[in-house]
Amino acid sequence: MRRVLSAFVLCAFAFLVPRPAECQLTGQIITSDEPLPDPSGSTAEWVKELKKRHKTTFTKDEGGSWQVHFLAFMKKPAGEKEVNIVFYDITEKKPDQVHYITYNVTPTQKTLKASFRIGPDDPVKADKKYEVRLTRIVGGKEDVLAKVVLNFK
C-alpha cells in the first residue's frame, strides 16, 4: 500500500563525487543523524569519514521525530527527473511499503545528498526495522538504485 507522508525535506542537492568513491559505495546509502561532509581532501579520507559517521539506528529527538541525513550512491544514473526514498517494514518476513518521499534530480545524477524528518504522525514507527530504498519508477515498476537497512528507536 502506498502512502505519501508529511516528511519535511531539509535539503536535497546533487554534487560531484570523485569516481573512486562511487565505485566503493555504489548501491549504498550512507545515513547519519548529523550532516554528512562534502568531498574534500583525498577520496580515501572522505570515504573513511563517511563510513565513520554512518549509523543505522536512530533515536527520536526532543520533539519526538527522527532526523536522518543521507548520501545515496546510485548503481546507475537516475535516468528520470524524480527518485523516491521508499520505506519497507521488514520486521516481519514480507516487506511492507509504508512510506515514500520524492526528490527532484537530474537524469544524469548518480548521487543524492539530502535529509528528511519523520514525525510522530508518520507511519514509520519505533522498534521496527526498515529497508530504505532509493528508487525510480520505470515502466510502472520500481528500480532500486541504492539501499540501507535502518532501525528507529
Tell me, what's the pLDDT at 20? Answer: 53
Mean pLDDT of the region 102-107: 97
Architecture of the 8-152 domain: Sandwich (2.60)
The cell numbers describing 117, all together, are 524528518
d(CA 36, CA 23): 19
Amino acid (one-letter) located at 94: K
Tell me, what's the pLDDT at 35? Answer: 97
pLDDT in tens, 53-73: 999 999 999 999 999 999 999
Mean pLDDT of the region 83-102: 95
Phi, psi torsion values for 23, nearest 5 degrees = -65, -40
pLDDT in tens, 106-121: 999 999 999 999 999 9
Residue 95: pLDDT over 50? yes
**What are the residue ranges spanned by the domains of the chain?**
8-152
pTM summary value: 0.85
